[in-house]
Amino acid sequence: MSSGNKSYEIKVQHLARVEGEGGVWVKIKDGKIEYVEVNIFEPPRFFEAFLRGRSYLEAPDLTARICGICPLAYVMAASRAMEKILGIQLSEETDKLRKIAFYGEWIESHVLHFMFLHAPDFLGQHSIFDIAKENPQAVKDAVGLRKWGNRAIEIVGGRPVHPVGFRVGGLHRIIKKEELLPLLKNFNEVEKMARNLLEFVVNLPIPEIEYDLVLMSLKGDREYPILKGVVANNLGGEFPEDDLEKNIMVEQKIYSNALHYRLKNGRPYITGPIARFNLNYDLLAPEVKDILEKAGYKAPLKNTYQSIVARAAETYHAVLEIKKLIESYSEPPQPYIEAEVRAGKGAAISEAPRGMLYHYYEIDENGKIVYANIIPPTAQN
Q: Is the peptide bond before 300 cis (omega within 30 degrees of 0)?
A: yes
- Type of residue numbered 168: V
Residue 87, number of CB atoms within 10 A of its CB:
12
Q: What is the mean pLDDT of residues 336-349?
A: 97
Per-residue confidence (pLDDT) for residue 257, from 0 to 100: 81
Query: How far, in Å, CA of 252 to CA of 261, rounded?
Result: 9
In this prediction, residue 110 has a pLDDT band, given cuts at 50, 70 and 90, of: very high
Q: Which one is predicted more confidently, 306 or 38? A: 306
Flag whether pLDDT at 6 surpasses 90.
no
Give, as one character, the DSSP assignment of residue 8. Answer: E
pLDDT of 200-223, one tens digit each? 999 999 999 999 999 999 999 999
Give the list of residues 6+ apart from residue 100 with CB closer than 8 angstroms, or none: 152, 156, 180, 322, 325, 326, 329
* Correct CATH for 46-381 of 3.30.420.40, 1.10.357.10, 1.10.1740.10, 1.10.645.10: 1.10.645.10
In this prediction, residue 164 has a pLDDT band, given cuts at 50, 70 and 90, of: very high
Q: What is the mean pLDDT of residues 360-375?
A: 98
Domain residue spans of the chain: 8-39, 46-381
pLDDT of 133-146, one tens digit each? 999 999 999 999 99
User: Which residues face 57 on adjacent strands?
Assistant: none
Q: What is the mean pLDDT of residues 235-253?
A: 95
pLDDT of 267-296, one tens digit each? 999 999 999 999 999 999 999 999 999 999
Q: What is the mean pLDDT of residues 94-112?
A: 98
Among the listed ranges 41-45, 233-237, 262-266, 349-353, which one has the minimum average pLDDT value? Answer: 41-45
- Please report how the helices 187-202 and 286-294 are oriented relative to each other, as an axis angle in degrees rounded to 10: 30
Flag whether pLDDT at 196 surpasses 60.
yes
pLDDT of 50-76, one tens digit each? 999 999 999 999 999 999 889 999 999
The long-range contacts involving 36-40, CB below 8 angstroms and separated by at least 24 positions, are: 37/255, 38/256, 39/255, 39/256, 40/256, 40/257, 40/258, 40/378
Per-residue confidence (pLDDT) for residue 5, from 0 to 100: 63
CB 334 within 8 A of CB 226: no
Q: Which one is predicted more confidently, 254 or 291? A: 291
Query: How far, in Å, CA of 146 to CA of 268, rounded?
Result: 32
Per-residue confidence (pLDDT) for residue 351, from 0 to 100: 98
Q: Which of 31, 40, 41, 76 is nearest to 374 (CA)?
A: 76
Per-residue confidence (pLDDT) for residue 1, from 0 to 100: 43
Q: What is the mean pLDDT of residues 318-335?
A: 98
Per-residue confidence (pLDDT) for residue 212, from 0 to 100: 93
Question: How confident is the prediction for the chain on average, in pLDDT?
Answer: 95
Among the listed ranges 16-25, 108-117, 149-158, 199-208, which one has the minimum average pLDDT value? Answer: 16-25
Q: What is the mean pLDDT of residues 240-250?
A: 97
In this prediction, residue 3 has a pLDDT band, given cuts at 50, 70 and 90, of: very low
Per-residue confidence (pLDDT) for residue 14, from 0 to 100: 87
